[in-house]
Amino acid sequence: MTSKETAKICLITTGGTISSIYDEETQALHPGLSVDTLLDRLPKGMGNIEVIKRELFQLDSANAQPHHWQTLAGAIKQVSEEIPDLQGIVISHGTDTMAYSAAAVSFMIQDFGRPIVFTGSQIPASVPWSDGPRNLLDAIRVAAFGDIGETCIVFNGEIHRATRTKKVRVNSYDAFDSVDPSPIGILARDIVLYEGRKKRDHSLIPRFDTRIDDRVFLLKVFPGLPSQTLARIVDMGFHGIVIEGYGSGNIPTIENALTRGIQQAIDQKCFVVVSSQCAFGQADLSIYAVGRAAMDVGAMSAHDMTSEAALVKLAWVLGHTKEPARVREMMSTSFVGEMSFTSQNLPSDK
């Protein structure tokens, strides 16, 4: 588009801190600001940007569930079909589960060819020193003009790939970090973008597919974790488990050994993926005997996926197939930049 053309973007609000207000009765924050009020906090006259508004939820993101991901993806599909010349999407969202929701949208909407931008704030937009207006304006800039063709999180002047991002700080404005590699861009006087991102491509035909199996469990290993925990999870009807192991994906193998539980889970058609509790680095089950033990009984490695992305991806994969070889193939393939490897160049697990 030329510099004189109006860029149409859609702002979809879902609640979160950015839209929160203080309730005197409960003495706590809860979502309540309308989409119009959020936009009123921005500078007047944003030039050649037209913002189309959609209010989807007023939800604290701690209450977000997998079906909300599907509803959000459906809303994006609807607005993209209604407005063919849309330049991008902005989604205001709570920070607590933003990494999960953004990752889910990444898998559910592929080849969109335009930016789908998640943002939010650490301080409600109703507060004068809120970071909300800046983050929202930055997200609108990226959606309208950024040469990005993937789902991302814009926060505190940085642009992060959705599937490579973690919330790492509770109160600071820089709540999110990219976890190997670095951010895909920054917001300064101009939008500065780095190589390795997916670029805009309006010729693509978007693929919308919201099928997931939400019976996936995330289990963090800790000293003293009872060995029978995995059996209990399977008995509860879960079809997949992401185990956050120590370091490079290590698990206990002597006292409270998890190996038998992993094998039993797999024998009962429950798929097991091992990720790392560490924010940076990757799960490599071939390094230590305590990691290889998990691999030898059939666990899959998450490699350098975040635990959030691994959980969402496993749910998405199991929504499409439960054939073991196909699940393993899909989990070892990078679909939306969620890991640095593909099934063709994965380090050997044998």
Condensed to tens digits (0 to 9), the pLDDT of residues 70-113 reads: 999 999 999 999 998 999 999 999 999 999 999 999 999 999 99
CB 67 within 8 A of CB 38: no
The CA-atom distances, in angstroms, between 245 and each of 88, 167, 350 are 38, 19, 19
Which pLDDT value is given to residue 47? 77
Specify the DSSP class assigned to residue 223. T
Which pLDDT value is given to residue 97? 98
Which pLDDT value is given to residue 4? 67
Q: Which residues contact 83 (CB under 8 A, 6 or more apart)?
A: 8, 10, 52
Cis peptide before 181 (omega within 30 of 0): yes
pLDDT band, residue 277 (cuts 50/70/90): very high
For range 262-291, the mean pLDDT:
95
For range 303-308, the mean pLDDT:
95
Give yes or no for residue 338 having a pLDDT over 50: yes
d(CA 299, CA 291): 10
pLDDT band, residue 350 (cuts 50/70/90): very low
**Which one has a higher pLDDT value, 113 or 343?**
113
How many degrees, rounded to 5, is the angle at CA 116 between CA 123 and CA 196?
105
Give yes or no for residue 127 having a pLDDT over 70: yes
% pLDDT > 90, the chain: 88
Alpha-helical (H) ranges within 236-306 are 259-267, 289-296
% pLDDT > 70, the chain: 96
Domain ranges of the chain: 7-208, 216-331
Q: Which residues contact 299 (CB under 8 A, 6 or more apart)?
A: 243, 262, 266, 272, 273, 274, 285
Q: Could you name the CATH architecture of 216-331? A: 3-Layer(aba) Sandwich (3.40)
* Catalytic positions, written as ranges: 17, 95-96, 167
Q: Which residues contact 63 (CB under 8 A, 6 or more apart)?
A: none
d(CA 4, CA 48): 7
Condensed to tens digits (0 to 9), the pLDDT of residues 226-270 reads: 999 999 999 999 999 999 999 999 999 999 999 999 999 999 999
Which pLDDT value is given to residue 247? 96
Q: Which residues contact 90 (CB under 8 A, 6 or more apart)?
A: 9, 10, 11, 12, 117, 119, 136, 139, 140, 143
For range 305-333, the mean pLDDT:
97
Reading the block at residue 59, the tokens are 């939800």
For range 57-68, the mean pLDDT:
97
Give yes or no for residue 342 having a pLDDT over 50: yes
Specify the DSSP class assigned to residue 156. T
The CA-atom distances, in angstroms, between 81 and each of 4, 164, 235, 327 are 24, 28, 42, 31
Condensed to tens digits (0 to 9), the pLDDT of residues 156-215 reads: 999 999 999 999 999 999 999 999 788 999 999 999 999 999 999 999 999 999 999 999
Average model confidence (pLDDT) across the chain: 94
The CA-atom distances, in angstroms, between 213 and each of 84, 113, 163, 204, 245 are 31, 26, 18, 27, 23
The CA-atom distances, in angstroms, between 284 and each of 164, 166, 274, 331 are 18, 20, 9, 15
What CATH code is assigned to 7-208?
3.40.50.1170
Q: Which of 43-47, 172-176, 288-292 is the least confident region? A: 43-47
pLDDT band, residue 27 (cuts 50/70/90): confident
197-211: buried (b, 16+ CB within 10 Å) or exposed (e) per residue?
Answer: bbebeeeeeeebebe
Indicate the pTM of the whole model.
0.94
pLDDT band, residue 2 (cuts 50/70/90): low
Which pLDDT value is given to residue 314? 98
